[in-house]
Amino acid sequence: MAKLPKPEELSKIDLKPPKTDWMDTPVEFKEDMYCWGAKGKNLKVVEFPNARDWSPKEEDWKLPENWKEIVMEAFGDRLSKYRSFKLFMDICVRCGACADKCHFFIGGGDPKNMPVLRAELMRSVYRKHFTTGGKIFGKTAGARELTLNVLKEWWYYYYQCTECRRCSVFCPYGIDTAEITMMGREFLNLLGLNIDWIAGPVANCYMKGNHLGLEPHTIKNSIEFFLDDIENITGIKIEPTFNRKGAEILFVTPSGDLFADPGTYTAMGYLMLFHELGLDYTWSTYASEGGNFGFFTSNEMGKRLNSKIYAEAKRLGVKWILGGECGHMWRVLHQYMDTWNGPADFLEVPKSPITGTVFENAKATKMVHIAEFTADLIKHGKLKLDPRRNDHLKVTFHDSCNTSRGMGILEEPRYIIKNVCKNFYEMPENTIREYTFCCGSGTGLNASENMALRMRGGLPRANAVKYVHDNHGVNMLANICAIDRATLKSAMEYWVPDVQVCGIHELVANALVMKGEKERTLDLRLEPLPGKAEKEGNE
């Protein structure tokens, strides 16, 4: 990280491709642009093949002898299992509409980060091995052999895609490069070629229930720590429960929010809101992870980690599940969970115990997004809110890739924000909602050794934040994603240092007037509320 160039340096970007044809340009592993290789011990925990320590920097990747066969066999298998994969191998016309839509290309200029070329890296091999034209005409038909160099190129570029799906919005056939990246990662994982920043959390989550590897008592301790702060701020003592059988609702959220600022403030927000509502809910230490780094590994690993949520809901006998703010977590819960591990026929159609609203849109998965839940509360006037407590904030909202392009939860968070704070400004329309830009560090790329990649990928987002910062004085970037809260913090510190990052339930809890609370002088960050600093001093 020490080597990370200054923002002025890093933002000098040339989007013009080089002279040499991409097939004749061998992959070059650039400093700070890739992650460390997966450690053998982490892969062994989940019984992955070819587990060993290896380093992408070394010439020798210690591949199994028959690596090519392994990949080609899996390639054929996935073509027959995924229509998306097969179709997307065949129908791209290279119109280039997607080319300049990827944050990594915009912020870095590497032509192989154009979604179309990222996909061609794999399509070229597909043509060689699975099409007659490719077999006969070879390079002229855009076909090439799978060589060690090509494999390394795959590794480098499929761990430079955050599966954000922005490219897929612009493609006339909906070609989703994320689908191709997922396949690329499946193949690489068969050879033990994960990155450790994913493999580590996966192993943790498998054994301990969450990415961070927090053991049950530690989870409880972390939350108790928040409770002390909450008591300081509000004078109210909260007593949440853990692994409690017979609760009405199981609450699942990303473990990241139990661990580091500013996610912790969001977690405090949940605790305060649920207490105020008197919600009959429980945390689980077994299903203590909403996110799913398995999803960034392979389909099977995603399913294995996800299975805990329904299993735990069944064991505890809850009626339905409420999910916290997270991006890829919701892609998985919304588009994969029920298919993988359903049907959830042991649960009931979610119904808000406070407003009586039945969440028909979640009647199969039985899992509700907290933004839906809270928006419904506010709409029914069930929360007493004092938005002035957020008067020191000028807020903008970052749509997370997965909740916008893999779900469509756009208005609920905006509705909530507008009800809990008075100063809200949208970023330019080409950069929000379905056009939103990735934080630059999704899909498990939020390591520290690839900081240049992350800052480059975060540039388009930061550029739009800077616009509202310069024009409206925006100083808070709200979002509904635990990874965003961690990664945008670094991106803001680097690109737009005056802007902080928060989850929306931090804003909610700041504004929430709780029964029996003392006069609040501090916000959840233990900083003075607007207009309260002087008062404090006078007393």
Residues between 366 and 385 with contacts to other proteins, criterion CB under 8 A: 367, 372, 375-376, 379
Give the residue, chosen from 52, 68, 244, 525, that forms a contact with other proteins under the rule CB under 8 A. Answer: 244
Going residue by residue from 127 to 166, which x/- string records binding to other proteins, judged by CB under 8 A?
A: ----xxx------xxx----------------------x-
Tell me how far apart the 2 most distant CA atoms of the chain are, in Å: 86
Q: Which amino acid, 445?
A: L
- The answer to whether the peptide bond before residue 216 is cis (omega within 30 degrees of 0) is no
Give the residue, chosen from 128, 165, 466, 485, that forms a contact with ligand SF4 under the rule CB under 6 A. Answer: 165
Check binding of 433 to other proteins (CB under 8 A): yes
Check binding of 411 to other proteins (CB under 8 A): yes
Going residue by residue from 47 to 66, which x/- string records binding to other proteins, judged by CB under 8 A?
A: x-------------------
Angle formed by the axes of helices 504-511 and 411-420, to 10°?
A: 30
Tell me how long the chain is.
539
Check binding of 220 to other proteins (CB under 8 A): yes
CB 157 to ligand SF4: min, Å:
9
Range list of H helices, 52-147: 67-81, 83-90, 103-108, 115-130, 132-137
The piece of 58-66, 154-162, 228-236, 361-369 that touches other proteins (CB under 8 A) is 361-369
Residue 446: count other Cβ atoms within 10 Å of its Cβ: 21
Distance of CA 373 to the CA centre of its chain: 20
Q: 163 contacts which partner out of ligand SF4, other proteins, none, CB within 5 to 8 A by kind?
A: ligand SF4
The H or E element that residue 252 is part of is: strand 249-252
The piece of 14-22, 45-53, 90-98, 479-487 that touches ligand SF4 (CB under 6 A) is 90-98
Going residue by residue from 79 to 108, which x/- string records binding to other proteins, judged by CB under 8 A?
A: xxxxxxxxx--xxxxxxxx-xxx----x--
Residue 263 corresponds to which tokens in the numbers above? 């996610």
Q: 425 contacts which partner out of other proteins, ligand SF4, none, CB within 5 to 8 A by kind?
A: none
CB 242 to other proteins: min, Å:
5
Of the candidates 256, 306, 172, the one whose C-alpha atom is nearest the C-alpha of residue 485 is 256
Q: 374 contacts which partner out of ligand SF4, other proteins, none, CB within 5 to 8 A by kind?
A: none
CA dist 17 to 92, 105, 112, 117, Å?
20, 11, 9, 12
Angle formed by the axes of helices 177-190 and 299-316, to 10°?
A: 90
How many residues form the binding site for other proteins (CB under 8 A)? 117
Check binding of 150 to ligand SF4 (CB under 6 A): no
